Amino acid sequence: MTIFRSFHRLSPKFLVILSALFISFFCFLETGLVPPLQSPDERDHLKRAYWLAQGEFFLKTPPGQASGGFVDSGLERYIDYLSKYEGHPEKKIAQNDLMTVSQFQWTSRKVFTVAPGTGYYFPIIYTPQAVGLLAGELMHLSIDRSYRLTRLLAAISAGLITIIAFAIYPPNALVLALLAIPMTLFQSGAASLDGMATAVLLLALSTFCQITRLREQAPPALLAVFTISVALISTCRLHALPILLLPFIVWLYTRKKTVLWQAVACSAFSIGWTMLAMKMTVSSPSQGSFASGKLLGIFLHPFHFAHLLFNTVTDPDKQSFYIYSFLGILGWLDTLFPARFYFTESLLLLATALFAISWKNQRDTWQISGILAGMGLASFLLIFTALYLAWTPINASEIDGIQGRYFLIPALFLAYALGEMKITPRSLCAFSLFLVIFLFSVHAMIPVLLTRYYIGF
């Protein structure tokens, strides 16, 4: 009881901000440990950031090709050289590889390359990566140093946004635990979109929860941050589109006309960008269909899509892959943990979720919790819709391209539905489990990464 009284003096915001600092610090260290471009689809995200640095918001689609754009030939050769490690866990990083990589320079000569999967994202969210690439090119740094600067800026920016989100509203320990699983940690230390997207989602959900608490007293600056973060996350993650409902919920709580206009403008911008991007982006010419055409097909033949969805979620192999790749399959999905790790991590997450639930708080905030939980379910279903539109051939029997890490967004919706961090015995037990998950994840990741990239047998 004396121990609890000591903890009771702590601020929930202090606990979650300190946790975010430790998570961010590990991601910072990770940028020096993991070799370049070892995250899934990281090379395409790097290209998208380069195009933003050149002032290009839309991809180009030459006849007979997938969508892409023009990048510096030195950057393209750098990406091609490092692609030899993709899917080859037996290949280690040798000293001569590091020397070769460090010699690639900017050439000012452009070549066309494809990156259709990034065409659906509003590119402003790549700002940290674009700043890194542009600064590296202007300062005549090698491409490798420019890349490492890019990855560092992305990790730092995501960490700062997360800390700001937690300073506004301290979420429960399950949110922290989801940030501490290996897959989230690994992606947050890469130059891809995941780290920034996760941080912006946290900012949107934290500001939403705080605004619904303050109601009419919510300051205009907080409302503006909320609207901008909702617009950013909904235009870079299609399965986050249900979040567009939140600005209208905020209007119901505040009853301000300006908030209603912000909600309408945010929804119009997000939906408009998404439809335009779907129309302009060609994922694969061989499919013979734009994403917008397949979207129309879902409405015209809903039972066909329902059949595809059923086949996909009932496939035992896909179920196992979703769980493993949600918790952590590192590298280009070629670096597994031991099987016992996934079992233990799953139990720890489940226990954290059970302790994070406060039935008393849920009775007080059941409306907000229900809305967030419903959005989690809608986001889960939209993952399958998005990957059907972007990657699945029309005649496929199952939906292709889904990775477990995509389920982080619906999981965070559900986690925020459990309420905020409280200094209670139950919440402190959940927080203790988060600490165990974080330490367990870090302890497991370091030897796995060292063995994958540097240590041979």
What domain range is 228 assigned to?
A: 2-280+290-453
Q: How much is the pLDDT for 289?
A: 47
**Which is nearest to 195 in space by CA: 146, 248, 233, 251?**
233
The pLDDT tens digits of the residues spanning 263-301 come to 999 999 999 998 898 888 887 665 544 555 677 777 777
pLDDT at 135 over 70: yes
Tokens 């600490």 belong to residue: 435
Both tokens assigned to 444: 């497991």
User: For residue 377, how many other CB atoms are within 10 A of its CB?
Assistant: 13
Q: Is 365 a member of any domain?
A: yes
> In the prediction, which pLDDT does 285 show?
61
DSSP letter at 85 equals G
Say if CB 121 and CB 160 are below 8 A apart: no
Tell whether 285 is covered by a domain: no
Q: Is the pTM of this model over 0.75?
A: yes
Could you tell me the two tokens for 97? 């590889």
Residue 26: predicted pLDDT: 95
Per residue in 39-70, pLDDT (tens digit) is 988 999 999 999 999 999 989 988 888 889 99
Q: What total number of domains does the chain contain?
A: 1
> Distance between CA 115 and CA 47 in Å, rounded?
7
What does the pLDDT read at residue 109?
95
Tell me the CA distances in angstroms from 161 to 44, 166, 253, one per residue in order.
23, 9, 25
Asked if pLDDT for residue 224 goes beyond 90, the answer is yes
Q: How far apart are CA 182 and CA 327, in angstroms?
A: 6
Assess whether pLDDT exceeds 80 at residue 170. yes
Residue pLDDT, tens place only, 419-448: 899 888 889 999 999 999 999 999 999 999
Helix locations, 301-424, DSSP H: 302-313, 316-327, 339-356, 359-364, 366-390, 408-416
The span from the CA of 362 to the CA of 175, in Å, is 16
For the cut 80, the answer to whether the pLDDT of residue 390 exceeds it is no
Question: Mean pLDDT across the stretch 411-415?
Answer: 97
At 300 the pLDDT is 72
Please report whether residue 429 resides in a domain.
yes
Measured CA to CA, the distance from residue 267 to residue 244 in angstroms comes to 6
- What distance in Å separates the CA atoms of residue 147 and residue 129, rounded to the nearest whole number? 8
Determine, yes or no, domain membership for 383.
yes
Spatial separation of the C-alpha atoms in residues 165 and 198, rounded to whole Å: 11
Count of CB atoms situated within 10 Å of the CB of 290: 17
Strands 110-114 and 68-72: antiparallel
**Reduced to 3 states, what is the DSSP secondary structure of residue 454?**
coil
Tokens of 178: 């989801």
Cα–Cα distance, 121 to 41 (Å, whole number): 14
The pLDDT > 90 percentage for the chain reads: 69
Pairwise CA distance, residues 374 & 126, whole Å: 29
Alpha carbon separation from 284 to 50, 85, 137, 287 (Å, rounded): 22, 24, 31, 6
Q: Encoding tokens for residue 343?
A: 């079992």
The mean pLDDT of 138-156, rounded to a whole number, is: 95
3-state helix, strand, coil in the chain (%, to 5): 70, 5, 25
Whether pLDDT at 303 is above 60? yes
Q: Regarding predicted confidence, which is higher, 81 or 95?
A: 81
Residue 190 forms part of a structural domain: yes
Residue 117 within a domain: yes
Domain membership flag for residue 213: yes
